[in-house]
Amino acid sequence: EFRRVLFRSYTKQVHGTHIAEADPTKHGLHSESREEADGLYTTRPNTIAVQTADCLPLLVYSEKDPFIMAVHAGWRGLAKGIVGNAVKLAQRHCTSKENLRVLIGPAISAECFEVGGEVIEAFAKFIHPTQMEVLTNKGKEDRWFFDLWGAAAFTLVDHGIRPENITVLKRSEEH
């Protein structure tokens, strides 16, 4: 009789760029000390999770290969390169980038995410100015409204993920 061993994995999320391989001895729900990472991936039967409030949850998976990744991407992690790290890691485990699919989950909306100039400056270093125009709206005084969903999608495309392989889930009234 074949029995699949299923375990749940979690990490200590720190708004960084590290993505760890799911390991029940390091990332189990009741582990004494969890590894600091903002993503988990696995190539075997497993349940992986990330927790988000305002930040983006990303689910990266392959249609052909046994691979799945869950990523916690706040503005700091996005600006530091967690999306690029995720794509590179997925490519190492998948036969083709064309097989990769990305689901970007609910997060704070562009209409509510008001940020300071440091956020705009961080993204302006790697996002094209015409894309930045789409992602930002001027707020009061020195504040800006910023679209995390769009920033993640632009970054995924810049790393070779086809736009048709990216799904963005927003609030239900925004379908």
pLDDT 10s digits, 25-54:
665 555 555 678 888 888 876 677 778 888
| Residue 77 neighbours by CB under 8 Å, 6+ apart | 15, 16, 17, 38, 55
Q: What one-character DSSP code corresponds to residue 28? A: B
Q: What per-residue confidence (pLDDT) applies to 170?
A: 77
Q: What per-residue confidence (pLDDT) applies to 4?
A: 44
Q: What per-residue confidence (pLDDT) applies to 28?
A: 55
Q: What pTM does this model have? A: 0.82
For the chain, which residues score pLDDT lower than 50? 1-7, 172-175
Q: Sort 27 into a burial class: Cβ within 10 Å, 0-12 / 13-18 / 19+.
A: buried
Q: What per-residue confidence (pLDDT) applies to 95?
A: 81
Distance of CA 6 to the CA centre of its chain: 23
Q: From CA 155, how far away is CA 70, in angstroms rounded?
A: 17
Q: From CA 100, how far away is CA 60, in angstroms rounded?
A: 7
